[in-house]
Amino acid sequence: MKKPILAFASFICLFSINTFSQANKTKPPQKNRPNVIYIYADDLGYGDLSCYGATKLHTPNLDKLAASGIRFTNGHCTSATCTPSRYALMTGQYPWRKQGTGILPGDAALIIPTDHTTLPKVFKKAGYQTAIVGKWHLGLGDAVAKNWNGEVKPGPNEVGFDYSFIFPATADRVPTVFLENHKVIALEANDSIAVSYTHKVGNDPTGKEHPELLKLKSSPGQGHDGTIVNGIGRIGFMSGGKLARWVDEEVSSTFLAKAEGFIEQNQQHPFFLYFAMTEPHVPRMPATRFKGTSGLGLRGDVILQLDWTVGEVMKELKSLGIEKNTIIIFTSDNGPVLDDGYEDEAVAKLNGHTPAGPMRGGKYSALEGGTRIPFLISWPGKVKPGVSNALVSQIDLIASFSNFFKQPIPAGDAFDSENMIDAFMGRSNTGRSVYVEQGGALAIVKDGWKLITPNNGPALNKGVNIETGNSPEPQLYNLTEDIGEKENLAAKYPEKVKEMTELLLSIKEKK
């Protein structure tokens, strides 16, 4: 690698470099097809970047990316939590259509169908090398019970990725290990891994039993009191795999090393890289160089680490001379959350920062703060820089790139995905006219109007102090004039409520 990285990251990069396709080295450049890097932040809010108005944080690399391409002000994920948003990204299908697409435990079975069109398969069909580096959280194997000490599959490779380097779920869930393709990295034969989300396994201390061992204290009642790894309590229990367990401060640089390795190995012909970062999801434990640098606590620090990492990817492309033939898409899996399981001063040191920008809600919420997130697309020399208010979504990448490559999607696959390639490429300011958002309740947006359907759940998620958007009565907002969803117009426009309710029902019945 051209850049110095931490020792562990160097080790695993050298350990697995031969897993990349050696055939790629002999293929000539194919400049007619751009490389595509999709960078996915985790729990990053609309207001967390300075290019979206943040004044308490400065994110120069992402600002540079925004200035070189299109900054969408109405870009969305489908859902206000991670697993369903990632499901929609991969499949082009609204996740609420399928049971079992909620937030998954770390031992869940694979929920992505292996026999249908997926985003990486679109690129593979067009002749691209494909890879995922980072967080997966879409399940592994055919069942919950799995042998972590052998080949763990099906997984990312079976849904279209030639190469995968992941952790299974989230950084706050066990097992806290990396998997390269089908195998756990650095696993010793005599130290088998066992995982459970129902009962304690092994003799490792837990956060509940030994809080004095924690270097990052868990928030009460949020489940982060399972097995302690690296001084941090996790959700769930694990034993074994002592050498294989990651060090939180090195996770980000490890993922960066693997992403850069894939880019270097495939620089001579088209590639698609899904770089699924972990920042600013909990537990927030940045590398030492970033600790204390933001003034906003550890959450601010990991956002600066995220920004730096994106800058390193951009530098890598430039050093290889392929930056002008590479599309970079940057966005987030859902809206922001502050106190999400650990006492890391994200609330105490907020200092006037507004993670959701001008919107109500955040992660877990049907309000706009739950699904309206940063959304940037850059392709130097091809995408004209600017700002777009077109309504666009991650779910539309499958249909859009299928159109870009002029390869039709088989009937019945990705049927919620729409071709937005003209909006993505800056050739049109027209996006979706109709869109469904998923928080605690379902919401439908049509031509700037938003209806949140009645839901009897609590109006406030007290555990994280976020408005859910739940109400026993319908809520109607004119987002064009009221992005903060302050004035419920349902009583004033009952016909609009009726129209949008019926429209949502027709979408739900679509097969």
449: β partners: 446, 478
Burial class (CB in 10 A: 0-12, 13-18, 19+), 142: exposed
Q: What DSSP string runs through 317-373?
A: HHHHT-GGGEEEEEEESS---S-SSB-SSTTTT-TT--TTTT-S--TT-SSHHHHB-
Task: Convert the pLDDT of each residue in 182-224 to its tens digit.
Answer: 999 999 999 999 999 999 999 999 999 999 999 999 999 899 9
pLDDT per position as a tens digit, 97-139: 999 999 999 999 999 999 999 999 999 999 999 999 999 999 9
Name the one residue in this structure whose structure tokens are 């069909």: 125
Tokens of 43: 């729990």
The structure's pTM equals 0.94
Q: Hey, what amino acid is at 240?
A: G
User: What is the DSSP annotation of 408-443?
Assistant: PPPTTSSTT----HHHHTTS-S---SEEEEESSSEE
> What confidence category does residue 52 fall into, taking pLDDT thresholds of 50, 70 and 90?
very high
Angle at 103 between CA 112 and CA 234, to 5 degrees: 120
Residue 289's SS3 state is helix
Q: What integer pLDDT is reported at residue 510 of this predicted model?
A: 84
Stretch 329-357: mean pLDDT? 97
DSSP 379-413: -TTTSPPEEE---EEGGGHHHHHHHHTT-PPPTTS
Between the two ends of the chain, the Cα-to-Cα distance in Å is 48
The pLDDT of 335-357, averaged and rounded, is 97
| Type of residue numbered 281 | H
Q: Report helix, strand or coil for 461.
A: strand
- Polymer length in residues for the chain: 511
Neighbouring-strand partners of residue 182: none
